[in-house]
Amino acid sequence: MSSKKSTQTTQEIAKQASGTLYQKIVHFLFGSWESTQLTFSFLLVILMAVFPFFTKSPYWLGIVVLSAVYAYIGISWNIVSGLTGQLLIAHIIFIALGGYTTIVLLNTYSVSPWIGLLVGGVVAALAGVVIAFITLRYGLKMDYFALFTIALLVALRTLFLKWDYVGGAVGMWVRLKNPSFIKMVFNDKAPYLYIALLLLVIGIIIQYLIYRSKTGKFFIAIREDEDAAAALGVNTPWYKTLSVVIGAAMAGIGGGFYMMYVTFIDPTGVFNLGMNVEIVMAGPIIGGLGSLLGPILGALVNKPIAELVRGYLSEGTSGISLIVYGSFLVTSIMFMPRGLAGLLHNLYQKLSKPVSER
Amino acid sequence: MALLEVENITKRFGGLVAVRDLSLTVDKGEIVALIGPNGAGKTTAFNVIAGYYKADAGKVVYDGVDITRLHPHQICNLGLVRTFQVVRPFRGINVLDNVMVGAFARTNNNKVAQAKAEEVLDFLGMGEEVKRMASGLPIASRKRLEIARALATEPKAILLDETMAGLRPIETDEVIAMVRKMSQSGIAILLVEHVMKVVMSLADRVLVLHHGEKIAEGTPNEVVQDPQVIDAYLGETNVAN
Amino acid sequence: MTPEIFFQTIVNGLFTGGIYALVSIGLTMIYGVMVIVNFAHGEFLMLGIYTAFWAFTLFGMDPYLTAPLAMVLIGGLGALMQRGLVHRVLDAHPLNMIVLLVGVSTLMIGLAQFFFSAEPRSIHVSYETAVLSALGLRFSIPRLVAFVSSMFLAGSLYLFLQYTRVGKAIRAVSQSREAAQLMGINVNAMYMLTFAIGTGVTAVAGTLLAPNYRMIPTMGSAYSVIAFVIVVLGTMGNFVGAFVGGLIIGVVETFAGFYLGGDVKIIASMFIFILILLFKPSGLFGRKRT
């Protein structure tokens, strides 16, 4: 037996007052495409959370940790580029800034990364404000915006290469050897996984709340048609800036954690467009840019497959990851512009039509 | 003082004067039509009034406020909203969400916005289509959606840009009825039109533009018989239609 | 800086600029005709230089002889890419095109790393250290040959676009797709051809760089970025602008390299780029926005 799986108008809500507990639960979880995506997101989180109980292999645990981090970062990019449609190509700038802030605070000032992450988020958010301001003030759109962020990336990389305070070309290592909770250094991978999942859960919730709110609708309106949105009273400069700041802050925090996990940061490695494709873009693109589920689903498809492919083809041959990510991007755009989440959406819509209709 | 007062606006593009020294007023509940041959400057005038183009001279006063230098979203929030000649629905979301974007101009609350959106869609006869994706709508529905979104912002004045273009006669009649309902509820309406049937049946007053200048103003009947207007239209629309 | 060093720097700058000009001409042509920024442009240069590498290593072919081969081969690849991929995404949201091209770029780098290895490669020709001394300056022979070749190619391309039927057809499409179609021009074929020429010319620039160059699969991005700067500077779509811009940036960068050091000189171009994007995005030859 199935309940009517349709989205809610005010009239329909009234109709749902009755029904068995089972029907109510199914309706709560899968009643709309939004709630379905949310349900699947949390299912994937739970899947990742129980992973350590099925394997102790550090290799596989590591892949899951990275998938979780990529999923979280994917959400942060999704808010800027997916919901609001601003193609921020060099999102990795925020990750880098968050990472550097966290590590510098830890190494030089012994500040706990738990705080360092948040400071990293603030630093990244400030960078976001500056970038948004400049692009709005000077009217940089689409291609010009993308080129501008690439130029920033290159400029920042050069600056950081020469800046000894942050280690210059050599980079910085996380300076502690002994495990410590307060310093976010662990011998085992599992604690990192749970921190990553904590971030991911927060990210999922933030993304969902935004999506359902006035802010989210305005973001989407701007993506769909900026001038029409302005004609309807949407303060487009403000909302575009807001989306960049939110995405940047989240990415900054994610970057801080990511650097604590990999314990090393250097300009060439982090101000790097290839890294941007792997960490930021590949997941949401293949998962479905602009959807709720896309970033998470995409990251969980991306990273493990890339690793598997790399494992099966000869060890030590470089380029496999890039080939995988590049192919994902190309095939997604060519054949599945709405990503895997888009395919699932089509399936959902077919399944939710009453049997009498088509 | 009328709700919308346009005073001597001029707009140039390089050496070309698209709109010269145009003045008009629209009051609560009035329907004023702006007509003229192609290239007369009607849409340019619209864009200036609605804040998309900066006027080179003159000013636009709405509800006592000088809105000449304001951004489109600020103008909308004051209660003056426009539709687009080539409709611009938010294609990736459904009809209800489209209209909710407009409704959010007046509220921050989800439920309130949704209720308002549903109310407007009912008013315009689109109650059954709330969940359809905007991209899947036929042209007549998209036009209606365009109006619905604008209405949801609770405007006191609406600028309708060639709403009837591309509609079949029966659809045109429906839109005419909608516009009349809106006017009766007190909204000031300025519309740009090519379809004379619409102008004749709806407008309280008509302004004729030619080469960016106002060449006639009056009731539909007066304007239609004005020799200058007939001259301007010769070879264009059949004025007597 | 003595007058001698000054002029030497200018010469070296022009030599660098010649290569930049070729790459940028390719990029600007593609933009001019199809209104897309080829985010994978630098990778075609990379393929060009590797073509020279393999031709030399496997067949002993001199890089300069490989140039025409690279143009056809890599240009052909570009045409295929346009027809198979780019063309189908042309009318979609611009986001899709950017992501597609970034994906293609990533894929090309990955394939290059896989097949050519990520280790730096180089080829050494007998004349690579030859120098011509004249006018009190030293002209590196390979670089001189590269410069002359790029000037020749750029000039030929210019004449092609100006005076041949096909060239005019391409320019017509860049002005108006619809009008060109109405005039009976096969727009799709012109798209393919433009892409072929644009990427082919870039590949030639790669082969010209080959002698003694430290090749790695990721080398293309730096050239992409420089080309973006030059194309915007010279006004997007403007052939002469890209040419002149390339020479200008080559000289500016070489001077920056003298004063700031090799690894930081890119900052000068980035600085110029950001200034242009902010204050005159329409470039040197463009009109002010209304």
Please check whether residue A161 touches C, CB under 8 A. Answer: yes
Q: What is the 3-state secondary structure (H, E, C) of chain A?
A: CCCCCCCCCHHHHHHCCCCCHHHHHHHHHHCCHHHHHHHHHHHHHHHHHHHHHCCCCHHHHHHHHHHHHHHHHHHHHHHHHHHCCCCCCCCHHHHHHHHHHHHHHHHHHCCCHHHHHHHHHHHHHHHHHHHHHHHHHCCCCHHHHHHHHHHHHHHHHHHHHHCHHHCHHHCEECCCCCCECCCCECCCCHHHHHHHHHHHHHHHHHHHHHHHCHHHHHHHHHHHCHHHHHHCCCCHHHHHHHHHHHHHHHHHHHHHHHHHHHCEECHHHHCCHHHHHHHHHHHHHHHCCCCCCHHHHHHHHHHHHHHHHHHHCCCCCCCHHHHHHHHHHHHHHHHCCCHHHHHHHHHHHHHHCCCCCC
- State residue C24's pLDDT score: 97
What is the average per-residue pLDDT within A248-265?
95
pLDDT beyond 90 at A192: yes
Q: Is B159 helix (H, G, I), strand (E, B) or coil?
A: strand
Partner-chain contact A146 C278, CB within 8 Å: no
- State residue C289's pLDDT score: 40
Token representation of residue B51 = 């804040």
Structural domain of residue B122, as residue ranges? 90-154
Task: Please report the number of interchain residue pairs, chain A to chain C, with beta-carbon separation below 8 angstroms.
Answer: 142
pLDDT beyond 50 at B10: yes
Residue whose token pair is 């180089």: C122
What is the average per-residue pLDDT within B66-94?
91
What gap in Å lies between CA B84 and CA A76, rounded to an integer? 33
pLDDT beyond 70 at B240: no
Interacting residues of A56 by C-beta distance below 8 A, sequence separation 6+? none
Chain A neighbors of B93, CB-CB under 8 A: 217, 220, 224
% of chain B residues with pLDDT over 90: 51
Give the mean pLDDT of chain C: 91
- State residue C51's pLDDT score: 94
What is the average per-residue pLDDT within A137-152?
85
Q: Are residues B131 and B168 in the same domain?
A: no
Q: Are residues B115 and B163 in the same domain?
A: no
- State residue B70's pLDDT score: 92
pLDDT in tens, B176-189: 888 999 999 999 99
Chain B neighbors of A213, CB-CB under 8 A: 110
Q: Are residues B14 and B50 in the same domain?
A: yes
% of chain C residues with pLDDT over 90: 62
- State residue C133's pLDDT score: 86
For chain B, where are the alpha helices, taking DSSP H only? 42-49, 72-78, 95-103, 110-123, 139-152, 169-184, 196-202, 220-225, 227-233
Q: Are residues B110 and B30 in the same domain?
A: no
For C106, the closest of A134, A148, A325 (CB atoms) is A325
pLDDT in tens, B99-146: 999 999 999 999 999 999 999 999 888 888 888 889 889 988 898 899
Domain count of the fold of chain B = 2
CATH of the domain at B178: 3.40.50.300
* Domain-wise residue ranges, chain C: 22-243
pLDDT beyond 80 at C230: yes
Chain A neighbors of C110, CB-CB under 8 A: 319-326
pLDDT beyond 80 at A44: yes
- State residue C55's pLDDT score: 93
pLDDT beyond 80 at B63: yes
- State residue B241's pLDDT score: 47
Partner-chain contact A143 C277, CB within 8 Å: no
Please check whether residue A284 touches C, CB under 8 A. Answer: no
- State residue C147's pLDDT score: 94
The phi, psi pair for A328, rounded to 5°, reads: -55, -50
Q: Are residues B121 and B192 in the same domain?
A: no
pLDDT beyond 90 at B233: no
Residue whose token pair is 């701007």: A222
pLDDT beyond 80 at A311: no
Residue of chain B minimizing CA distance to A7: B131
- How distant is the Cα of A218 from the closest Cα of chain B, in angstroms? 7
- State residue A356's pLDDT score: 55
Q: How far is residue B82 CA from its own chain's centroid?
A: 5
What gap in Å lies between CA B51 and CA A260, rounded to an integer? 50
Which carries the bigger pLDDT value, residue B195 or residue A10?
Answer: B195
pLDDT in tens, B85-110: 888 999 989 999 999 999 999 999 99
Q: Which of B119, B154, B189 is the last residue of a domain?
A: B154
- State residue B174's pLDDT score: 85
pLDDT beyond 90 at C195: yes
Please check whether residue A182 touches C, CB under 8 A. Answer: no
Asked if residue B84 is part of any domain, the answer here is no
Chain B neighbors of A221, CB-CB under 8 A: 90, 101
The class that CATH gives domain A36-352 is mainly alpha
Q: Can you give the C-alpha Rg of chain B in angstroms?
A: 18
Partner-chain contact A318 C113, CB within 8 Å: yes
Which carries the bigger pLDDT value, residue A142 or residue B180?
Answer: B180
What gap in Å lies between CA B27 and CA A319, rounded to an integer? 69
What gap in Å lies between CA A354 and CA A2, rounded to an integer? 9
% of chain A residues with pLDDT over 70: 92
- How distant is the Cα of A341 from the closest Cα of chain B, in angstroms? 14
What gap in Å lies between CA C26 and CA C205, rounded to an integer? 10
pLDDT beyond 90 at C31: yes
- State residue B33's pLDDT score: 93
Neighbours of chain A (3+ CB pairs under 8 A): B, C
pLDDT in tens, A89-122: 889 999 999 999 999 999 989 899 999 999 999 9
Please check whether residue B46 touches A, CB under 8 A. Answer: no
* Domain-wise residue ranges, chain A: 36-352
- State residue A13's pLDDT score: 62
- State residue A3's pLDDT score: 37
Q: Of A307-311, A351-355, B232-236, C87-91, which gets the smallest average pLDDT?
A: B232-236
User: Which helix (H) or strand (E) segment is B54 a member of?
Assistant: none
For B101, the closest of A9, A213, A229 (CB atoms) is A229
- State residue A6's pLDDT score: 42
- State residue C290's pLDDT score: 31
- State residue A317's pLDDT score: 66
Q: Of A212-226, A343-357, C201-215, which gets the smallest average pLDDT?
A: A343-357
Give the mean pLDDT of chain B: 88
DSSP B128: G
- State residue A11's pLDDT score: 52
What is the average per-residue pLDDT within C172-201?
92
Chain A neighbors of B52, CB-CB under 8 A: 227
What gap in Å lies between CA C1 and CA B237, rounded to an integer? 74
pLDDT beyond 70 at C288: no
- State residue B123's pLDDT score: 87
Name residue A326's amino acid.
G
pLDDT beyond 50 at A170: yes
CA distance to A285, C34, C171, C218, per residue, from C29 (Å): 29, 8, 9, 24
pLDDT bracket for residue A2 (50, 70, 90): very low
Q: Are residues B167 and B67 in the same domain?
A: yes
What is the average per-residue pLDDT within B192-203?
87
The pTM assigned to this predicted structure is 0.88
Task: Please report the number of interchain residue pairs, chain A to chain B, with beta-carbon separation below 8 angstroms.
Answer: 84
Please check whether residue A209 touches B, CB under 8 A. Answer: no
pLDDT beyond 70 at A18: no
Interacting residues of A227 by C-beta distance below 8 A, sequence separation 6+? B52, B72, B88
Interface test with A, best of C38, C83, C93, C99 (most A CBs within 10 A): C99
The answer to whether the beta carbons of residues C48 and C205 sit under 8 Å apart is: yes
% of chain B residues with pLDDT over 70: 97
pLDDT bracket for residue A313 (50, 70, 90): confident
Q: Are residues B161 and B94 in the same domain?
A: no
Chain C neighbors of A222, CB-CB under 8 A: none
- State residue B227's pLDDT score: 85
